[in-house]
Amino acid sequence: MTTFLFILSQLSFAQIQPSVVIKPNVPVTFEYISPAWNKAPSEIDSGYIVVRDSKNGNLVKAELRESEVNSALFQGTFGIGFSNRDFSPEIYIIPKEYFDKPDQLKILFAENRLSRKPIFLKADSRSQKISIYDTSDQAFLALGKWKSSQKSKTQIVDPSVLEAQRKLEVQKELERLQKMEAEQEKERARLAEQEVQRRAQLKAAEEKLAAEEIKKRKVAAQKLAEEGLKHYSSGNFQEAEAKFNQAVELDPSEQSFYYQYGVTLYRNEKFSKSLVVLRSLPPKGSFDPNEKEYFMGLNYLKLKEFSNAREQFARVQAKDVPQLSPSSAFFVGVIDFQTESFESAKSQFEYVLDKSTDAQLDRQAEAYLDQIANIMAFNEERKKKWIISFYGGLTFDSNIQQISNSQIDSGSSTGLEGFRWSYGTSVEYRPLYNEKNEFSLVASASDIYSTDTSFQAKGEFQNLDPLTVALTAPFKWKGQSFSKPSQTVLTPGYETIMMNLDGTGSRETIVNTLFAKIDQTLVVKDELWSNYSFEVRSDESQTSSTGDDDQTAMRYTVATTQTFFQDDKKEKAWIADSAVTMNQAKGRNQEYNKIELGAAYLSPRRWETNLRARIGYFISDYGNHSTGRKDNQLSLSGLIQKKVNESVSGTLSLSYIDNGSTLSSSDYDKYTIGLGLSWDFALKN
């Protein structure tokens, strides 16, 4: 059985108890989508992660390589185990410079300079797959966009369950931190009272000593403090703490000894006691007050009192102190990043790059800025309320058809060849967009203007041009169906088509249609997505045809599309589609049953283009037709698309149709060659 589990780490300092485990004897595949790592579009890039055992802090480093040139999808498969036991993983992104420097890497962890990543684990008895995200919202938005975008790796998870879990875990963690902070402050009050008594006793004892004895003790205290500094510089913090404490006892009036004692307590992870000592010092004295504020911030950070830590670091940053202010800004940025205050975090890391002279700190700030850029791009998608699209194109058509209903592939041959200009627009208003649901109102219009091969406008051509106007209101549900990740879309709509069928005056309405369509896409497995749809259309013909030729009808269509992806990036795929249609018309000559089959291939090509090639075939049986009509059609088509930028894309299309029919006017073949250009943009909140 395959399991899907979720680790929340938006508050990475909080060290939420992991809920997944890695098996030591089963290979682990890691994947991470990161445009920031995709530095060279023409080369295979690499990125670096650290897997940390949450129980004992053991580390394993891993290099992830880009799946293919310019894909931005980074992957790697490894055998990972700590003493051949199960373990709960924590995942961190690290700069390349630290990959071969374990000592510096340990410092990053000790100083909380790395942020833990949210992950999804997909596991069975033979494989384990971990997908890494910058935030949990990235995964939810990626799933919400899966149908319209094939550039992102959609994870097989239930977003509604994950979001509920996320909110519950965050709330529980915040409550736990608040309770812990109150308990720690209570403990600090107790320690402060003890320290006040201790210092009072030391000073009282000093006052009873002779002046010469006090002088000797000060000299001895100074010597002990110097020894303490040597131990501190060599990393022997335990011995340094003892020396500074002895110096304080010999000379309780010297504030620098007390400050050094407080800093060494921090190094020995006695954070509450270190805070007590540092907070008892006056604002100014024989020590650096900015350093005191900085170490107080570090203590609060280690104690997971993030608001207090941020306040301390912000004070140091505001004073614009070399070295200390850039480091303080970095920690403010990390805290803001964890609380998803990305704009604020961005400004903090930009401050670091502007002020810092520490190359390592700069690289860490740049890594965070790359992550923030990715996250903010995702969040921008949520702000889109109005989406407006325009398109235009020119097509050469070797045999322009005449249509008289909403079935554009059932027209009759005219024998006219010419150029057809097509253009249109759509406006979408999206009042609802979240992890579970989307709702839109869409208005669209499309028109065609035909000319002969000399681009001359002629009535017999333009009488064949349809103007189509439609209104739809799609509603999407995202979640699970049949225990599979899915998206369900219900689309009611209204459509009207206008043409100048009688050849006189202007175009008039030929058909009005009310329709409703429901389609569902299931992620059966990572490489197979299945779509099923059912559509009902009510065509109200406005033409003069009556009796056996009355085209007013109820039409029912059941269809399916099976997409077999050939790569992790979801750009290469084989697609199989089929449909069955029943058209129940008032006129018996318009009644038919239709079966359609098709196969297509999608693939990226050179110059960042995408190719779609399709072959299709259908048969239509007009069982009640007065002459016993039957149609069959073979179609071949190809489309090359090039995205110019985020808003503009161009297409080149070719098609060939061979339509056979027992009705002579519907027995024809044709080919088309077309160029198109589309442009869309969004208006945000």
Cβ burial of 383 (10 Å; 0-12, 13-18, 19+) is exposed
* Torsional sign, CA 82, 87, 90, 91: positive
Alpha carbon distance 210, 199 (integer Å): 19
pLDDT of residue 584: 93
Two tokens at 295? 């170490």
Q: Which residues contact 40 (CB under 8 A, 6 or more apart)?
A: none
Rounded to whole angstroms, the Cα distance separating 93 from 47 reads 8
Distance CA 607, CA 500 (A): 43
> Could you tell me the two tokens for 208?
């009873």
Question: Does residue 633 have a pLDDT over 60?
Answer: yes
Residue 14 φ/ψ, nearest 5 degrees: -75, -15
What tokens appear for 403 in the block?
A: 């249509």
* Residue 528 confidence (pLDDT) above 80: yes
* Residue type at 130 in one-letter notation: I
Per-residue pLDDT at 156: 32
User: Torsions phi, psi of 454, nearest 5?
Assistant: -100, 10
Q: Can you give the three-state secondary structure of 65-81, one letter per residue?
A: EECCCCCCEEEEEECCC
Helix (H, G, I), strand (E, B) or coil at 376: helix
129 within 8 A of 80, measured Cβ to Cβ? no
Query: Does residue 117 contact residue 138 with C-beta atoms inside 8 Å?
Result: no
Q: What is the amino acid identity at position 392?
A: G
Cα-only R_g, the chain: 35
- Per-residue pLDDT averaged across 335-364, rounded? 86
- Walk across the sheet containing 128-132 and list its strands: 3-7, 119-123, 128-132, 28-33, 73-78, 59-66, 46-53, 89-93
165 alpha-carbon distance from chain centroid: 18
**% of the chain residues with pLDDT over 90:** 33
In this structure, the number of other CB atoms found within 10 A of the CB of residue 53 comes to 19
Residue 229: is its pLDDT beyond 80? yes
CA separation, residue 177 to residues 14, 132, 380, 659 (Å): 8, 26, 31, 71
Share of the chain above pLDDT 70, in %: 86
pLDDT (0 to 100) of residue 486: 80
pLDDT at 13: 32
**Nearest 5°: phi and psi at 401?**
-90, 155
pLDDT in tens, 371-422: 787 777 766 766 778 889 999 999 999 988 877 555 655 667 778 899 999 9
**pLDDT tens for residues 238-283?**
999 999 999 988 988 888 998 999 999 999 989 989 998 998 888 8
**In 3-state terms, what secondary structure has residue 263?**
helix
Q: Binning pLDDT at 50, 70 and 90, where does residue 83 land?
A: low
Whether the per-residue pLDDT at 632 is higher than 90: the answer is: yes
- DSSP 8-class letter at 14: G
Q: Three-state DSSP class for 426?
A: strand
Q: What is the DSSP letter of 333?
A: H
Report whether pLDDT(141) > 60. Answer: no
Amino acid in the structure at residue 289: P
Question: Using CA atoms, how far apart are residues 513 and 139, in angstroms rounded to an integer?
Answer: 38
Mean pLDDT throughout 197-219? Answer: 86
Nearest Cα to 552, choosing from 541, 536, 537, 544?
541
Whole-number Å distance between alpha carbons of 611 and 327: 50
